[in-house]
Structure 1
Amino acid sequence: MSEPWKDEPGRTSHGRRGPLLNTDPGVSAIVDNALALNASFAAALGCRTHEDHGVAAIDAECPGHRRAIVVAPCLDTAEAVAGLRSFFSPKGAWVLEDPFGSFDGESAGLVRADTTVLFRYDPRPGEVLDPGLTLRRVDDRTDLEIAERIVAEGFEQPELAAAPPGSLYPRTILDDSAVSILLAVVAGEPAATVMSYHDGRSTGLYWGATLHTMRRRGLCGGLIKALMNEHPHTPTLGSSGAMSQSRFREFGYRELGPSTWWLWPGDG
């Protein structure tokens, strides 16, 4: 069976032929989960949010939480970006994810930063997955800081590594029962981490990262299985870069299509 995003020729918001439009209905579940996650972090961090012209954003003025997402195919990219530039603090960089393939970021001065692939897993009745590793649930400030450092190294984000602890994972995020953060432990030391957010209808996977020296051991894959077990009756959703896409396919995730990440590098 062909994928909708591979069949439908898309057009940019200015009418020119652009990226293939991703029409898979599963994309809406990914957007809904991301919006619920943003609301949780906004409450934990006490920061601002924005939603207008088909985009939604969060700005905590710190690394990790200066991001936006297209929530519906944009009708006017220029107006959407103008609204985001007004919302975000003026000099800092921010990123925007477009899971629909309809956002003409280049015309508005954004830089194409990355392309990931969106995945969805629909659980099988009675299925219990074996993580195959030693794991530890994050439930205090110390482990939150450890998870944050692993994300900073795994995603090669020096700004996050240099930021004060709690810039990605504030202590109060653990007050939200929808949040689950796990660590994979090797020889007594944390080596990988993945976070999930359960919005009642789906489980979204976020910030899966492994220390450079511990890669190629299936650690994030084991953590993903453990998080899938926590909510066995709802689908699990993920967005993956090239390095881990094969893992999602191996687990039986269905590919929904590409998601484009745009960067606004800042105003000077």
Structure 2
Amino acid sequence: MNTNSRLEQANDNAAAFWLAQARAHGWRYRVRPGLTAVRCARTPDDSQRFLITRPYVQPADVEKQLAELLAEWETVRCTVEDPYGGLDLTGLGAVRMPPMPVMAREPGPVDGASAELPVVSRTRDGDVLTVDEAAHGDALALVERTIVDGFPLPARQPWTRGEALPERLLGEPGCRAWLGRVDGAPAGACLSYDDGAATGVYWVATLPDQRGRGVARAVLRTVLAHAHPDRPATLVATSAGEPLYRELGFTGQGTTNWWTFTSPGG
């Protein structure tokens, strides 16, 4: 089995992205061969993250490691990402979500993309649409609020500046934030993370009143054109976003199974 495929590059990028968040927030984390765990701890019931990054021979061994971490960290909630589909976490009380495609886009130019930032275009109904990198704290706060309200991230609502995306995140090498505005007002956003092998795209969000106007497309095109177009781009697609990603050149590399766990008292 190829353990350095686009799928594994996507896994590695996601693990590195969560480790960057752990450093920015001051969270504990654990890295083991084939498993990265982040103990998100803004509040005791924050959803922790466990990412399987490499194929496993014995699912029971991975399940045992997860059970030990859940006990050690007194986990109330968590999400486990399993791109290989061999785990059965029902014994831990976890519920499997519908599988989602892991997608990659090969390196290369983006048709019609502007070489300069900010990128200025028009929405489908003619309003001015600009996309730029959010390179300082105030701009990152706008990205944060757009993601919290547009993705959405219910656990971060109501939005409080810096709780989801602390400004220290901009100091993490490879981490960049992107903001789309319609007539100057925030409309869409996402994050990207470059780990030297691939550029991962995360939390592509459009505010509810701006959907259907081409905002997400403009933000993604800008990221693909300006965040290391010489590297493959990777992401995990929702059913709503998959058609757009395919139009922009992403192809499926496999599916990931996400398990959610909530302790009986959580």
After TM superposition, the score normalised by the length of structure 1 is: 0.82
With over 3 angstroms needed to count, the CA separation of the structure-2 counterparts of 1:128 and 1:49, relative to structure 1, is farther
Report the Cα offset of residue 151 of structure 1: 1.6
Is the partner of 2:97 in helix, strand or coil?
strand
With over 3 angstroms needed to count, the CA separation of the structure-2 counterparts of 1:65 and 1:187, relative to structure 1, is farther
Match of 2:197 among 198, 201, 204: 201
* Conserved 8 A contact 2:148-2:156: yes
Match of 1:191 among 187, 192, 196: 187
With over 3 angstroms needed to count, the CA separation of the structure-2 counterparts of 1:108 and 1:126, relative to structure 1, is closer
Q: Percent identity?
A: 27
* Conserved 8 A contact 2:146-2:188: yes
Deviation by residue 1:26-73 (Cα, 9 ceiling, x = unmatched):
111011111221222222112110234742111231388721111223
* Conserved 8 A contact 1:61-1:89: no
Q: Does 1:32 align with 2:12?
A: yes
Report the Cα offset of residue 172 of structure 1: 0.6
Match of 1:59 among 39, 46, 56: 39
Match of 2:221 among 217, 220, 225: 225
Q: Which amino acid aligns with 2:257?
A: T
After TM superposition, the score normalised by the length of structure 2 is: 0.83
Q: Does 1:256 align with 2:256?
A: no
Task: Name 1:7's counterpart in structure 2.
Answer: none
| Counterpart Cα distance in 1 of 2:157 and 2:244 | 27
Deviation by residue 1:220-256 (Cα, 9 ceiling, x = unmatched):
2211111111212111111110001000111121111
| Counterpart Cα distance in 2 of 1:227 and 1:126 | 10
Is the partner of 2:202 in helix, strand or coil?
strand
Report the Cα offset of residue 120 of structure 1: 0.6
For structure 1, the residue ranges without an aligned partner over 5 or more in a row are 5-21
| Counterpart Cα distance in 2 of 1:114 and 1:212 | 23
| Counterpart Cα distance in 1 of 2:253 and 2:86 | 15
Q: Does 1:69 align with 2:73?
A: no
| Counterpart Cα distance in 2 of 1:169 and 1:120 | 25
| Counterpart Cα distance in 1 of 2:109 and 2:148 | 36
| Counterpart Cα distance in 2 of 1:102 and 1:24 | 19
| Counterpart Cα distance in 2 of 1:179 and 1:250 | 25
Q: Which amino acid aligns with 2:252?
A: E
1:4-23 alignment runs, 5 A limit? none
Deviation by residue 1:122-174 (Cα, 9 ceiling, x = unmatched):
12369663564411321232222222222222233322113642222111111
Report the Cα offset of residue 207 of structure 1: 0.9
Report the Cα offset of residue 218 of structure 1: 2.1
Between 33-42 and 158-167, report the one with greater CA deviation.
158-167
With over 3 angstroms needed to count, the CA separation of the structure-2 counterparts of 1:106 and 1:23, relative to structure 1, is farther
With over 3 angstroms needed to count, the CA separation of the structure-2 counterparts of 1:166 and 1:35, relative to structure 1, is same
* Conserved 8 A contact 1:148-1:168: yes
Q: Which amino acid aligns with 2:263?
A: G
1:104-115 alignment runs, 5 A limit? 104-115=88-99
Between 103-112 and 180-189, report the one with greater CA deviation.
103-112
Is the partner of 1:233 in helix, strand or coil?
coil
| Counterpart Cα distance in 1 of 2:219 and 2:106 | 17
Report the Cα offset of residue 106 of structure 1: 2.2
Q: Which amino acid aligns with 1:30?
A: A
For structure 2, the residue ranges without an aligned partner over 5 or more in a row are 122-128
Match of 1:95 among 65, 73, 79: 79
Is the partner of 1:208 in helix, strand or coil?
strand
Is the partner of 2:191 in helix, strand or coil?
strand
* Conserved 8 A contact 1:95-1:261: yes
Q: Which amino acid aligns with 1:171?
A: E
| Counterpart Cα distance in 1 of 2:240 and 2:53 | 26
| Counterpart Cα distance in 2 of 1:176 and 1:253 | 26
| Counterpart Cα distance in 2 of 1:126 and 1:157 | 30
Task: Name 1:139's counterpart in structure 2.
Answer: 135
